[in-house]
Protein backbone atom coordinates (compact mmCIF):
# COMPACT_ATOMS: atom_id res chain seq x y z
CA UNK A 1 0.00 0.00 0.00
CA UNK A 2 1.78 3.17 -1.16
CA UNK A 3 1.29 5.97 1.37
CA UNK A 4 1.70 9.42 -0.16
CA UNK A 5 1.67 13.06 0.88
CA UNK A 6 0.63 15.48 -1.86
CA UNK A 7 2.07 18.98 -1.71
CA UNK A 8 -0.01 22.02 -2.64
CA UNK A 9 1.91 22.41 -5.91
CA UNK A 10 0.07 19.28 -7.03
CA UNK A 11 -3.14 19.39 -4.98
CA UNK A 12 -4.06 22.91 -6.15
CA UNK A 13 -4.22 22.08 -9.88
CA UNK A 14 -5.82 18.72 -9.04
CA UNK A 15 -8.71 20.38 -7.21
CA UNK A 16 -9.07 23.62 -9.18
CA UNK A 17 -8.66 22.39 -12.76
CA UNK A 18 -11.46 20.21 -14.21
CA UNK A 19 -9.05 18.09 -16.23
CA UNK A 20 -5.43 16.98 -16.42
CA UNK A 21 -3.38 14.16 -14.94
CA UNK A 22 -3.22 15.62 -11.44
CA UNK A 23 -7.02 15.62 -11.37
CA UNK A 24 -7.09 11.99 -12.51
CA UNK A 25 -4.54 11.12 -9.86
CA UNK A 26 -6.90 12.55 -7.24
CA UNK A 27 -9.64 10.25 -8.55
CA UNK A 28 -7.23 7.38 -7.87
CA UNK A 29 -6.61 8.69 -4.34
CA UNK A 30 -10.35 9.00 -3.73
CA UNK A 31 -10.71 5.34 -4.70
CA UNK A 32 -7.94 4.50 -2.28
CA UNK A 33 -9.65 6.51 0.47
CA UNK A 34 -12.94 4.60 0.31
CA UNK A 35 -11.10 1.29 0.01
CA UNK A 36 -9.06 2.20 3.10
CA UNK A 37 -12.31 2.97 4.92
CA UNK A 38 -13.71 -0.44 3.99
CA UNK A 39 -10.56 -2.26 5.14
CA UNK A 40 -10.24 -0.42 8.42
CA UNK A 41 -13.97 -0.67 9.05
CA UNK A 42 -13.60 -4.45 8.98
CA UNK A 43 -10.66 -4.28 11.36
CA UNK A 44 -12.77 -2.23 13.75
CA UNK A 45 -15.59 -4.79 13.54
CA UNK A 46 -13.18 -7.66 14.19
CA UNK A 47 -11.77 -5.86 17.22
CA UNK A 48 -15.25 -5.21 18.64
CA UNK A 49 -16.23 -8.85 18.12
CA UNK A 50 -13.12 -9.99 20.02
CA UNK A 51 -14.00 -7.62 22.84
CA UNK A 52 -17.50 -9.07 23.00
CA UNK A 53 -16.19 -12.63 23.03
CA UNK A 54 -13.66 -11.79 25.72
CA UNK A 55 -16.18 -10.10 27.98
CA UNK A 56 -18.85 -12.72 27.44
CA UNK A 57 -21.38 -10.03 26.65
CA UNK A 58 -22.32 -7.38 24.14
CA UNK A 59 -20.03 -4.52 23.15
CA UNK A 60 -21.76 -1.37 22.01
CA UNK A 61 -21.02 -0.08 18.54
CA UNK A 62 -20.76 -3.31 16.54
CA UNK A 63 -23.95 -2.78 14.54
CA UNK A 64 -23.07 0.85 13.89
CA UNK A 65 -19.60 -0.17 12.68
CA UNK A 66 -21.15 -2.78 10.38
CA UNK A 67 -23.53 -0.21 8.93
CA UNK A 68 -20.70 2.26 8.31
CA UNK A 69 -18.58 -0.39 6.60
CA UNK A 70 -21.49 -1.47 4.40
CA UNK A 71 -22.01 2.14 3.33
CA UNK A 72 -18.31 2.51 2.56
CA UNK A 73 -18.40 -0.72 0.55
CA UNK A 74 -21.30 0.65 -1.51
CA UNK A 75 -19.34 3.84 -2.16
CA UNK A 76 -16.32 1.84 -3.19
CA UNK A 77 -18.41 -0.25 -5.60
CA UNK A 78 -19.81 2.93 -7.17
CA UNK A 79 -16.29 4.18 -7.90
CA UNK A 80 -15.15 0.77 -9.11
CA UNK A 81 -17.87 0.82 -11.77
CA UNK A 82 -16.41 4.03 -13.20
CA UNK A 83 -12.73 3.12 -13.16
CA UNK A 84 -11.00 0.98 -15.80
CA UNK A 85 -10.24 -2.64 -14.84
CA UNK A 86 -7.01 -3.06 -12.93
CA UNK A 87 -7.07 0.36 -11.29
CA UNK A 88 -5.29 -0.10 -7.93
CA UNK A 89 -7.31 0.62 -4.81
CA UNK A 90 -4.44 0.86 -2.33
CA UNK A 91 -2.94 4.29 -2.98
CA UNK A 92 -3.62 6.19 0.24
CA UNK A 93 -3.02 9.89 0.89
CA UNK A 94 -1.79 11.12 4.27
CA UNK A 95 -2.81 14.50 5.64
CA UNK A 96 -2.15 16.78 8.60
CA UNK A 97 -3.52 20.05 9.93
CA UNK A 98 -0.39 21.96 8.77
CA UNK A 99 -0.77 20.47 5.28
CA UNK A 100 -4.44 21.49 5.09
CA UNK A 101 -3.64 24.95 6.48
CA UNK A 102 -0.99 25.41 3.78
CA UNK A 103 -3.44 24.29 1.09
CA UNK A 104 -5.97 26.83 2.33
CA UNK A 105 -3.36 29.58 2.44
CA UNK A 106 -2.22 28.84 -1.11
CA UNK A 107 -5.83 28.75 -2.31
CA UNK A 108 -6.29 32.32 -1.18
CA UNK A 109 -2.86 33.40 -2.37
CA UNK A 110 -2.65 31.91 -5.88
CA UNK A 111 -5.85 29.93 -6.41
CA UNK A 112 -7.31 32.42 -8.88
CA UNK A 113 -4.34 31.96 -11.21
CA UNK A 114 -5.59 28.41 -11.78
CA UNK A 115 -9.32 29.11 -11.51
CA UNK A 116 -10.29 32.76 -12.06
CA UNK A 117 -13.81 31.92 -10.87
CA UNK A 118 -12.61 30.87 -7.41
CA UNK A 119 -14.59 32.61 -4.66
CA UNK A 120 -13.75 33.09 -1.01
CA UNK A 121 -16.77 31.00 -0.04
CA UNK A 122 -15.32 28.09 -2.06
CA UNK A 123 -12.23 27.83 0.14
CA UNK A 124 -13.70 25.93 3.12
CA UNK A 125 -15.43 23.46 0.81
CA UNK A 126 -12.27 22.76 -1.14
CA UNK A 127 -10.31 22.26 2.07
CA UNK A 128 -12.88 19.73 3.29
CA UNK A 129 -12.56 17.84 0.03
CA UNK A 130 -8.78 17.61 0.32
CA UNK A 131 -9.23 16.43 3.90
CA UNK A 132 -11.62 13.73 2.62
CA UNK A 133 -9.03 12.49 0.12
CA UNK A 134 -6.52 12.01 2.95
CA UNK A 135 -7.76 8.78 4.50
CA UNK A 136 -4.76 8.54 6.83
CA UNK A 137 -3.12 11.16 9.00
CA UNK A 138 0.23 11.91 10.55
CA UNK A 139 0.48 12.31 14.34
CA UNK A 140 -0.49 15.88 15.34
CA UNK A 141 2.35 18.36 15.62
CA UNK A 142 2.94 22.08 15.90
CA UNK A 143 4.39 23.46 12.63
CA UNK A 144 6.85 25.45 14.72
CA UNK A 145 8.33 22.15 15.90
CA UNK A 146 9.09 20.92 12.39
CA UNK A 147 12.84 20.53 11.91
CA UNK A 148 14.67 22.48 9.20
CA UNK A 149 14.48 20.12 6.24
CA UNK A 150 14.24 22.35 3.14
CA UNK A 151 15.38 25.74 1.91
CA UNK A 152 11.93 27.19 2.70
CA UNK A 153 10.70 27.04 6.33
CA UNK A 154 7.11 27.02 5.08
CA UNK A 155 7.79 23.72 3.34
CA UNK A 156 9.30 22.02 6.37
CA UNK A 157 5.90 21.04 7.91
CA UNK A 158 4.93 19.41 4.60
CA UNK A 159 8.03 17.22 4.58
CA UNK A 160 7.63 16.58 8.31
CA UNK A 161 4.04 15.42 7.69
CA UNK A 162 5.39 12.80 5.30
CA UNK A 163 8.10 11.68 7.72
CA UNK A 164 5.85 11.47 10.79
CA UNK A 165 3.06 9.79 8.84
CA UNK A 166 5.32 7.07 7.50
CA UNK A 167 4.74 8.08 3.89
CA UNK A 168 6.55 6.25 1.14
CA UNK A 169 6.37 9.18 -1.26
CA UNK A 170 6.06 12.96 -1.10
CA UNK A 171 4.72 14.34 -4.37
CA UNK A 172 5.73 17.94 -5.11
CA UNK A 173 6.64 20.19 -8.01
CA UNK A 174 8.16 22.70 -5.60
CA UNK A 175 11.90 23.06 -6.22
CA UNK A 176 12.47 23.73 -2.52
CA UNK A 177 11.13 20.24 -1.80
CA UNK A 178 12.47 18.42 -4.87
CA UNK A 179 15.74 20.23 -5.73
CA UNK A 180 16.87 19.94 -9.35
CA UNK A 181 13.63 17.99 -10.03
CA UNK A 182 15.26 14.65 -9.29
CA UNK A 183 14.14 12.22 -6.60
CA UNK A 184 15.28 13.51 -3.23
CA UNK A 185 15.38 11.57 0.03
CA UNK A 186 14.64 13.08 3.42
CA UNK A 187 15.60 11.39 6.66
CA UNK A 188 14.90 12.40 10.24
CA UNK A 189 15.21 10.32 13.41
CA UNK A 190 15.18 7.05 11.53
CA UNK A 191 12.29 7.97 9.24
CA UNK A 192 12.81 8.18 5.47
CA UNK A 193 10.66 9.46 2.60
CA UNK A 194 11.32 9.88 -1.13
CA UNK A 195 10.25 13.22 -2.61
CA UNK A 196 9.64 13.35 -6.34
CA UNK A 197 7.86 15.47 -8.92
CA UNK A 198 4.45 14.56 -10.25
CA UNK A 199 5.99 13.81 -13.64
CA UNK A 200 8.44 11.37 -12.08
CA UNK A 201 5.60 9.79 -10.11
CA UNK A 202 3.73 9.15 -13.35
CA UNK A 203 6.78 7.84 -15.17
CA UNK A 204 8.51 5.70 -12.57
CA UNK A 205 5.74 4.65 -10.17
CA UNK A 206 2.38 4.71 -11.94
CA UNK A 207 3.20 3.89 -15.57
CA UNK A 208 4.66 0.45 -14.66
CA UNK A 209 1.33 -0.43 -13.02
CA UNK A 210 -0.43 -0.18 -16.37
CA UNK A 211 -3.08 2.26 -15.15
CA UNK A 212 -5.05 3.52 -18.16
CA UNK A 213 -5.33 7.20 -17.25
CA UNK A 214 -6.82 7.91 -20.68
CA UNK A 215 -9.88 6.04 -19.44
CA UNK A 216 -10.19 8.08 -16.24
CA UNK A 217 -12.20 11.29 -16.46
CA UNK A 218 -11.30 14.24 -14.27
CA UNK A 219 -15.02 14.94 -13.84
CA UNK A 220 -15.29 11.70 -11.86
CA UNK A 221 -13.70 13.46 -8.92
CA UNK A 222 -17.08 15.09 -8.27
CA UNK A 223 -18.75 11.68 -8.27
CA UNK A 224 -15.98 10.35 -6.07
CA UNK A 225 -16.64 13.05 -3.48
CA UNK A 226 -20.36 12.36 -3.68
CA UNK A 227 -19.76 8.66 -3.05
CA UNK A 228 -17.57 9.66 -0.10
CA UNK A 229 -20.40 11.70 1.35
CA UNK A 230 -18.87 15.03 0.29
CA UNK A 231 -20.62 17.50 -1.96
CA UNK A 232 -18.80 19.16 -4.83
CA UNK A 233 -20.12 21.82 -7.18
Neighbour order of strands in the sheet with 92-95:
136-137, 92-95, 3-6, 169-171, 191-196, 184-188
List per-residue pLDDT tens for the chain, 233 residues long: 899 999 999 999 999 998 899 999 999 999 999 999 888 767 767 676 777 666 665 667 777 778 878 888 888 898 899 999 999 999 999 999 999 999 999 999 999 999 999 999 999 999 999 999 999 999 999 999 999 999 999 999 999 999 999 999 999 999 999 999 999 999 999 999 999 999 999 999 999 999 999 999 998 888 777 766 554 44
Locate all alpha helices (DSSP H) within 18-61, ordered by sequence. 21-55
Q: Is 28 helix (H, G, I), strand (E, B) or coil?
A: helix
Per-residue DSSP letter, 83: S
Which pLDDT tens digit goes with each residue over 137-172? 999 999 999 999 999 999 999 999 999 999 999 999
Length of the chain: 233
Parse the chain into domains and list their residue ranges. Answer: 3-34+87-218
Through-space distance between the first and last CA atoms of the chain, rounded to whole angstroms: 31
Beta strands in the chain (DSSP E): 3-6, 92-95, 136-137, 169-171, 184-188, 191-196
Which pLDDT tens digit goes with each residue over 71-96? 888 888 988 999 999 999 999 999 99
pTM of the model: 0.89
Q: For residues 191 and 166, is the Cβ–Cβ distance under 8 A?
A: yes
Q: For residues 142 and 151, is the Cβ–Cβ distance under 8 A?
A: no
Taking Cα atoms as reference points, which of 134, 143, 149 lies closest to residue 230?
134
Taking Cα atoms as reference points, which of 86, 80, 114, 83 lies closest to residue 11?
114
Fold of 3-34+87-218: Rossmann fold (3.40.50)
Amino acid sequence: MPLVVVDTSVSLPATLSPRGLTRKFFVLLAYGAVSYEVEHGQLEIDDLVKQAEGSGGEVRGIERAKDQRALAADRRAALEELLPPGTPDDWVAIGSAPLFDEYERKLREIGKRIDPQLREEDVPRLRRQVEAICAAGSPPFDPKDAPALTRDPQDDPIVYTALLGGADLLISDDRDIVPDRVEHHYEHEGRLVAALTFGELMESRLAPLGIDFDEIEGSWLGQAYASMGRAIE
